[in-house]
Amino acid sequence: MRILHTMLRVKNLEASLHFYTQVLGMKLLRQKDYPDAKFTLAFVGFADEAEQAVIELTYNWDVHEYELGNAFGHIAIQVNDVYLACEQIRKNGGKITREAGPMKGGATVIAFAEDPDGYKIELLAS
């Protein structure tokens, strides 16, 4: 068994695709419209779905707002250098919500970015 993907509902597919591909550097792996059901699925990731888990962005055509709730935490992404990743995300128009630095009570360097829908993306050093 293995994890295939994590699904996130998004308000604006184009803004989300821009964030995940242009700001974080993922690839759009596949995208398909389902006109009868009025939704679009777009899969993004750093590698092919056969190699690692990806993110499924679900855009429901008639829904323009979601409540994120308080149970979901974040998606974690491994980077070579957390400080440099923050600079690159900012340079590409992304939002950093927690600057790079040691995690509370530990030595691991982390940071957090936020996607257009408010989902948190944790950056961890490799």
CA distance 40 to 76: 24
The burial class, CB within 10 Å (0-12 / 13-18 / 19+), for 27 is middle
* Catalytic residue flag (residue 14): no
Which entry of 14, 56, 114, 122 is annotated as an active-site residue?
122
Q: Which residues are annotated as catalytic?
A: 122
